[in-house]
Each structure stands twice: as C-alpha cells, then as structure tokens.
Amino acid sequence: ELDQHPSGRHFLQIPGPSPVPDRILRAMSLPTIDHRGPEFGELGLKVLGGIRKIFQTQHPVIIYPASGTGAWEAALSNTLSPGDSVLMFETGHFATLWKQMALRLGLEPEFLSLPASQSWRHGVQPQLIEARLQEDREHRIKAVCVVHNETSTGVTSDISAVRRAIDAADHPALLLVDTISGLASADYRHDEWGVDVSVSGSQKGLMLPPGISFNALSPKAIEASQRSTMPRGFWAWDEILTANANGYWPYTPNTNLLYGLGEALDMLLGEGLEQVFARHERWGEGVRRAVNAWGLEIQCQEPALYSPVLTGVVTPEGIDADEVRRTIYDRFDLSLGTGLGKAKGRMFRIGHLGDCNDLTLIATLGGCEAGLKLCGVELFGSGMQAALDFFADNPAPGTPAA
C-alpha cells in the first residue's frame, strides 16, 4: 500500500492545543527520571518557581497532571462546600461547562447572562456582578467564577474590573478565574488583580502539549480550603503544597511535561512577558485586519476586549462554518477551531498562539481565504494581503529595520 501523507507541516491553528516549538519537543524527549530522586527535586523547584512569574504571583501555584477541566474541579472543590452558591457569567461555551461542573459537584451556580442578541459577544459585565452581590446581604454567594479569555468566542474579560465590583459591593466572595487560554498570551496578573484561584492549562499560551494544568492560589483561598468541606482526594491542595516545598509531588507527576514546562519558562521569561503579550496583540490585529478586509464579521463586539489569542469569524447567513473548516482541512491541511455550543455552524476560530510567526499566520489566512471562496462566500477583498501589509508596515519590536 502507498503511504499517503501530506508533505510539510500540518497547520494547527486551533486555539489550543497550540503548535509546540521544536525546542520544547526536544526537551520533552529526554529520559524519564526517578520522581523521588535529587535531580527531580531541582526540576520541581525550578518549574514551581518559574510558573509563579507567569501568573505574576508571589503565592504558590499547584501543577496537576490533568487537563484544564481537572484544574477547574480542583479550584471549586478546594474552596467550597456542598450547597454553596456561586455566581458565574455566561461569556460562552467554557463558562457554561464550568457552570455544569459546579452543578455536578453539588454547588448552586447562579448564571448571569446578557440578552440573546448580545450573548457570547461581550465580556463579563462587572456592574451586573456588583448589583447581584449588593443584593446578597447574607453573603450566601461564596465565589464569583469567570473566564478571562473565552476560547469559544475570542472575547476577553476585564478581571481587575470584576475584582473592583466585588470590593465595591463590600462582599467576601472569593474570585475564581479561568485563564486556561489566556495565560502566557494575554496579560494576566494574579496578585495585582486580587484573584483567589487562577486556573490554567499547558496546551495554549505555554506552548506545551495537553496534560498539565494549574491552580494559582491566594492566602485567602488557602484559608478557605482549610474550612471547606467538599470531598476531595487527588485535587487536595494541602498534601501537594507540603510535597512541593521540596520540589516533589505526593504522587507520580508528569515528568516529561515538566521538562517541557521548564523549557517553555526559559523561552517565555527569556523573551519577557511584555514582549510575549505584544507579540500576540500584533498577531491578533493582523488577523482582524484580514477578517475586516474579507468583509466578514468578528464574533467579539467590544474592540477593547478582542482576544490576542484567537479570532472568531462569523460566516455569512446560509454558509455552514463547519463545511468551510472541512474544506480548508481537506484541501490545505490546516485545522481551525469549530463553533462550539450555541455558535456551532455559525463561526470558525483562528488561533494565533503557540509556535507561530507572521508567515505561518499569512499562510493560515491564505488557506481560510481560499476555503471561503471554494464554499461560495463572496469576499470584499484579500484578507491575506491586508494582514501582510499590516505585518510589513508594523515590524515586531526588535526586528532589524528594512
């Protein structure tokens, strides 16, 4: 039989898992070591220290050998007790899934939403959070849970404004934030923004394969974990924090992903977080210029909240976005994100994170442009050209002048 495979690299332009740099793949290919030996302790301390810098926190960060969903469960089960009310906001599909998990765990989530015409196109509305907390005079609400970068829509939320809303209501609720797809691409400040638990994962801005995830803690979250009565075993912070003090885990950690994390930390901190955020902002702007040049709509309706991680592209009425995605995959070996939940068939998502550069994004936009045309979408102009012009006219900081 013929071995038929596409030549060249597959274009993985979904908003996570993101393309993994060769440097990280090589670091992960080293032999697995004894997770109770001295060499491991050094690695553990290195990654546990480095990841704090990524969350911009002085406090402990827990690393789980689990996907982001596990770290969601960990955040809820360590801080809350059965029957507790939690206030959540429907930014999109991932906020909805986190709410469903809260229900499964025996919590009582209250889900704030915008009217259908605006739903999934805006960020968290801090004034609605504040108003709801003002009403809650008995302090029945124990936590406010929001998503920082809603991966299903490409809309971010202003987390420091959510903190201010909680403070303005003079309410003791904890602030739990999902930055699974925001961390290490979009600016994120655990301490400065007063977040109690930040949840993240490996397969997005950290440029690692899926398989590890995080809870960044605050002293108030640790205190809450000492009082909360939700049953928890694997996720319990206390045993992990004790073992982590010496760079170890109470169970077998994901050694090779931790090699990868060590390499990712060297790359991201070596580049500098400011530069990392600026790089993603610039890519996002280039991709949005392409969508505008095509004459298509961007899912996010608040320019101040455009995600630097991904862009949601709405397909015209009568065009199935999944058909467009399939065509692009079959013809150009390029993967794009599907429309999730309520957005199924209505939009596709272009990831601009991970091991990308200007030209991989130009190629991605070229594949989108050709696929849209093949599916009968009439485009105003060339988005690929608009993005190329933007990248050429606005060199990345540090590139030599022409």
Confirm or reject binding of residue 16 to ligand PLP (CB under 6 A): yes
Confirm or reject binding of residue 292 to ligand PLP (CB under 6 A): no
Closest CB to ligand PLP among 61 and 386?
A: 61
Which residue from 152, 39, 19, 143 is spatially nearest to 97, judged by alpha carbons?
Answer: 152
> Residue with CB nearest ligand PLP?
68
Residue 58 DSSP label: S
Which residue from 360, 222, 192 is spatially nearest to 279, judged by alpha carbons?
Answer: 360
Of the candidate spans 109-117, 174-182, 280-288, 345-353, the one that interacts with ligand PLP by CB under 6 A turns out to be: 174-182
Cis peptide preceding 172, ω within 30 of 0: no
Confirm or reject binding of residue 67 to ligand PLP (CB under 6 A): yes
Interface with ligand PLP in residues 221-250 (CB under 6 A)? none
Q: Residue 319 corresponds to which tokens in the numbers above?
A: 């065009």
Of the candidate spans 32-40, 67-75, 106-114, 253-261, the one that interacts with ligand PLP by CB under 6 A turns out to be: 67-75
Burial of 14 (0-12, 13-18, 19+ CB in 10 A): buried
Binding residue (CB under 6 A) for ligand PLP from 90, 130, 178, 196: 178
Closest CB to ligand PLP among 60 and 70?
A: 70
Binding residue (CB under 6 A) for ligand PLP from 147, 169, 321, 343: 147
Q: How far is the CB of 295 from ligand PLP (least distance, A)?
A: 28
Confirm or reject binding of residue 68 to ligand PLP (CB under 6 A): yes
Q: How many residues bind ligand PLP (CB under 6 A)?
A: 12
Of the candidate spans 64-72, 125-133, 314-322, 358-366, the one that interacts with ligand PLP by CB under 6 A turns out to be: 64-72
Question: Residue with structure tokens 């990280």?
Answer: 24
Q: How far is the CB of 172 from ligand PLP (least distance, A)?
A: 26
Contacts of 120 (CB under 8 A, 6+ apart): 90, 91, 92, 150, 152, 153, 155, 299, 342, 343
Per-residue contact string for residues 90-119; x = within reach of ligand PLP by CB under 6 A: ----x-------------------------
Confirm or reject binding of residue 338 to ligand PLP (CB under 6 A): no
30: left (phi over 0), alpha (psi -120 to 50) or beta: beta
Confirm or reject binding of residue 120 to ligand PLP (CB under 6 A): no
Instruction: Please give the C-alpha separations between residue 5 and each of 2, 9, 89, 295, 324, in angstroms, as whole numbers.
Output: 9, 11, 44, 34, 22
Q: How far is the CB of 377 from ligand PLP (least distance, A)?
A: 27
Instruction: List, as one string, the DSSP characters of 184-249.
Output: TTS---TTTTT-SEEEEESSSTT-PPS--EEEEE-HHHHHHHHH-----STT-HHHHHHHHTTT--
Binding residue (CB under 6 A) for ligand PLP from 78, 79, 91, 181: 181
Binding residue (CB under 6 A) for ligand PLP from 60, 123, 126, 201: 201
Q: How far is the CB of 141 from ligand PLP (least distance, A)?
A: 21
401 contacts 357 by C-beta, under 8 angstroms: no
**Positions of E strands within 57-204:** 61-64, 85-89, 108-112, 141-147, 149-150, 155-156, 174-178, 197-201
Confirm or reject binding of residue 129 to ligand PLP (CB under 6 A): no
Closest CB to ligand PLP among 56 and 157?
A: 157
Binding site for ligand PLP (CB under 6 A): 16, 67-69, 94, 147, 151, 178, 180-181, 201, 210
